[in-house]
Structure 1
Amino acid sequence: MAKRIKIGIVYSYDENWIGGTYYYQNLIQSLKLLADNRKPHLIILSNDPSSFESIQAFNYPFITYRELNKTPSFFKKCLNKLFRIIFRKNIAKKKVNYGIDVLFHPTEIQIPNSIEKHLYWIPDFQELYLPHLFSEDYLNFRKKTQKELLSKDNNILFSSNDALHDFKKIYPNAKSKTYVVNFSVFHPNYSNIDIEKLRIKYKLDAVPYFFSPNQFWKHKNHIIVLKAVKKIKENYNYNIQVVFSGKEYDHRNPVYFDDIQQFVKEHNLQDNIKFLGFIDRGEQLCFMSNSLAIIQPSLFEGWSSVVEDAKAMNQNVIVSSLNVHKEQLHSQGYFFDPENEDQLINQMVYFLQNSIKKPEFNYNSQLHLFGQKFMDVISAIN
């Protein structure tokens, strides 16, 4: 039997970037669908060992967990102190290896290692389109880490052809090897969750609703939905309700959610706009499945997990007309200009006035492709 390839994955469970967390979880679940002889051995590397619990539930058969920057034992602390006294420096940190053949991680994460082959992940180039949402220091750091990957010896993974197009536009002379692998999403079972009980739990009116699940980051463009609801309330005789879920904090813009709440208050939309916060994943999916449609109004995406969620449950999605959204949905989305609330209103009113047939994405056939194509890339590197 051929040697099982070992892939290192730098991982942490992070509610502030839950999309990244879900990405790795979905990858592992897709790899689990591969034939046993093609499944890699995964070495999960994390600074936070509590993160391992969120992966252990998947029961992946070939997996090892390693803690990075592990707190040294009392003996090692004493030895290090003695070493500093004698040689005036710390003992050199042991470099990460663990027999890893290929290390997979985002470009911005750098760890001491002696692993020759890396697969770097660049999810998107949001900073190219919305630089005002980033600090100058972070923009410089991001540019620096990207420029370090432009030689022929480096391998870069993108989640969309749209992101690869941006990379080629920014770095036309890059010699790095580039790959595109669209990710798929796996859903926990939520069929046993009663939507009516959820309505009671979260004190929602028993009326048809739209659902918009996004972290409260400014580029997610919640404000256009609020503006659309305001106009619909003023000009149409509908008891409209939009329900939002997602962590209500943006470290880049700490007052963003406060501004959103203020808009709701100023325009008396408290009965029309409901904020649930960061909720259980199964509950979120139940809300999505039972909505009139999912609204994804983002100003920028790399490969939208919200859109993939909609596809996985054969749900309609009213979506901003980004190239990447068109790449994901083709003709099976209801598109609008993300800076034009009137176009969004037209789509929302269409759903309020009509009984819209659910799309059919045949998503089950896509679930194994994430892991399969990822391993094609790993094989090309290794």
Structure 2
Amino acid sequence: MSHRRFRLALGPMSEQWTGGLEYYRLLRAAFATLPEPERPVTGLISWDDAGDARRVGDLADELIVIPAGSSGLSLGRRALNRAGRSGLPVRAVSTTEKALRDWGADALFGTQVFPDAGPVPFVGWIPDFQYAHVPEAYSPEGAARVHDSSAAIALSADVLVMSSEAVKADLARLFPEAAAKARVVRFVSPMPDGIYDRDPAWVCDEYHLSDRFFYTPNQFWAHKNHHRVLEALQMEPAREAGVIVACSGNAHDSRNPTFFGELLAAIARAGMRDRLVMLGYVPRAHVLPLMRQSIALLQPSRFEGWNTGIEEAKSLGKSVLASDLPVHLEQDPPGGVYFRVDDPHDLSERLAAVWARGRSGPDNELEAHARASLSQRMQSFARVFLDAAREAASLARRR
């Protein structure tokens, strides 16, 4: 008798939300490390099967097609009419619920509530509560919208996936009635094939960089703390040591569209363009070689839910200098060094100390450890996630 694999439906994902798309890819990569009987079948909900067909094999195994414009419409009107005549109660079944049932969904995972999914178990995902930590990044209306969306997920889900204990603590503070639903599932970043095959020093020529630099691959958003790095580089420890920091990322933030230009102007005024080097947006295939060539990943952020850059450094085998956020301490990169998040002098001292003892290029010891542990870490991520999804299915059956 063949074993039936768990079938996980994934909510639709906007092309504009790179973080959400990447999470689906991380899940898919983690599931692929499991033995075949444990590996779930994933299906991406789609209202545009032609447009989403290219996502099969990238985000999910299959598509779950729901006719466009029909979400929430009831089916079986004849049955309802017959029930009305006979006095028998019959529950309407939406096209969304029917599509999920026909596909055989054991659970539905996503960041939006599907009120028309019927009794299909819902595993909600709230990546973080950034709006509560950096409210200045949001308009009052924007913060209210994000809060309401988080509340809807928290109250509707059978189980909630939290990326860290830090996010789980925020949930308990903001939505205490949903705290018991939280399950911490820490994602793990995979490494692409061949990442260790080539000496990464080529990035120095490609980007006109010194062979020694710290690397910060953050979006250019205010809470990522680039201005604090600029302050630190101007202070004596880092200035005298000659520390260089290279930064890459998306320069556009719709919430603060002038930020990147203001940062460039501040760097120019300080005469630090050769010390805080702005690479702008770089191809994804260049991010890991840049990290591998660097002395260390520098993660100065004032807020994170579970930082992708630190996870990539752990999986790659690169040392980390990070702000002392609880979530960064929870991520616990091997040999991690921390600075007080709002103290530029402390950061300057740490930069100078790591610069003095660190070396650029591959760290053979850290890379060997990372390579040896990555498969087990990814399998653990996959299994903990699936435990949460199966728990949601079990709870729903008992409703």
Give the TM-score normalised by structure 1. 0.83
Counting only pairs closer than 5 Å after superposition, residues 339-378 of structure 1 correspond to structure 2 as: 339-355=342-358, 359=366, 360=369, 362-378=373-389
CA distance in 2, matches of 1:130, 1:248: 19
Change (3 A) 1:41 1:251: same
Tell me the equivalent position of 2:11: 10
1:62-89 CA-partner distances (Å, limit 9, x unpaired): x2124667499xxxxxxxxxxxxxxxxx
Counting only pairs closer than 5 Å after superposition, residues 71-82 of structure 1 correspond to structure 2 as: none
Is the 8 Å Cα contact of residues 159 and 391 (structure 2) preserved in structure 1?
Answer: no
Displacement of 1:302:
0.6
User: Does the alignment pair 1:272 with 2:270?
Assistant: no
Is the 8 Å Cα contact of residues 150 and 176 (structure 1) preserved in structure 2?
Answer: no
- SS of equivalent to 1:367: helix
User: Does the alignment pair 1:313 with 2:325?
Assistant: no
Displacement of 1:145:
2.7
Is the 8 Å Cα contact of residues 189 and 311 (structure 2) preserved in structure 1?
Answer: yes
Tell me the equivalent position of 1:338: 341
Is the 8 Å Cα contact of residues 220 and 259 (structure 2) preserved in structure 1?
Answer: yes
Displacement of 1:248:
0.8
Look up the equivalent residue of 1:201 and give its one-letter code: E
1:31-79 CA-partner distances (Å, limit 9, x unpaired): 1111211221111135676566466258x7xx2124667499xxxxxxx
Displacement of 1:172:
2.5
User: Does the alignment pair 1:44 with 2:48?
Assistant: no
Tell me the equivalent position of 1:76: none
Moved more, 369-378 or 41-50: 41-50
Moved more, 226-235 or 309-318: 226-235
Q: Which has the higher helix share?
A: 2
Structure 1 residue runs of 5 or longer lacking an equivalent are: 73-91
Displacement of 1:218:
1.4
Instruction: Point out 4+ residue stretches in structure 1 off by more than 6 angstroms.
Output: none
Tell me the equivalent position of 1:101: 106
CA distance in 1, matches of 2:166, 2:351: 27
Tell me the equivalent position of 2:121: 117
CA distance in 2, matches of 1:45, 1:277: 34
Is the 8 Å Cα contact of residues 151 and 176 (structure 1) preserved in structure 2?
Answer: no
User: Does the alignment pair 1:284 with 2:290?
Assistant: no
Look up the equivalent residue of 2:356 and give its one-letter code: Q
Structure 2 residue runs of 5 or longer lacking an equivalent are: 71-92, 394-399
Is the 8 Å Cα contact of residues 123 and 161 (structure 2) preserved in structure 1?
Answer: yes
1:290-343 CA-partner distances (Å, limit 9, x unpaired): 111110011011111111011112211110101011111177311111211111
Displacement of 1:135:
1.9
Q: For 2:172, which of 152, 168, 174 is the aligned residue?
A: 168
CA distance in 2, matches of 1:206, 1:330: 25
Change (3 A) 1:337 1:50: farther
Change (3 A) 1:40 1:163: same
Look up the equivalent residue of 1:310 and give its one-letter code: A
CA distance in 2, matches of 1:234, 1:153: 48
CA distance in 2, matches of 1:183, 1:214: 18
Q: For 2:332, which of 312, 329, 332 is the aligned residue?
A: 329
- SS of equivalent to 1:318: strand
Displacement of 1:132:
1.7
- SS of equivalent to 1:247: coil
Tell me the equivalent position of 1:128: 132
1:273-301 CA-partner distances (Å, limit 9, x unpaired): 22222322231101101111110011011
Tell me the equivalent position of 2:204: 199
Moved more, 304-313 or 145-154: 145-154
Tell me the equivalent position of 1:79: none
Give the TM-score normalised by structure 2. 0.80
Tell me the equivalent position of 1:89: none
CA distance in 2, matches of 1:103, 1:281: 29
User: Does the alignment pair 1:185 with 2:221?
Assistant: no
Is the 8 Å Cα contact of residues 214 and 296 (structure 2) preserved in structure 1?
Answer: yes
Look up the equivalent residue of 1:182 and give its one-letter code: R
Change (3 A) 1:50 1:273: farther
Paired residue total? 356
Change (3 A) 1:128 1:333: same
CA distance in 2, matches of 1:296, 1:68: 41
Change (3 A) 1:67 1:208: farther
1:135-154 CA-partner distances (Å, limit 9, x unpaired): 22222222223333555863
Counting only pairs closer than 5 Å after superposition, residues 228-267 of structure 1 correspond to structure 2 as: 228-232=232-236, 235-238=239-242, 240-267=243-270
Change (3 A) 1:43 1:147: same
- SS of equivalent to 2:280: coil
Q: For 1:65, which of 63, 66, 70 is the aligned residue?
A: 63
Displacement of 1:236:
0.5
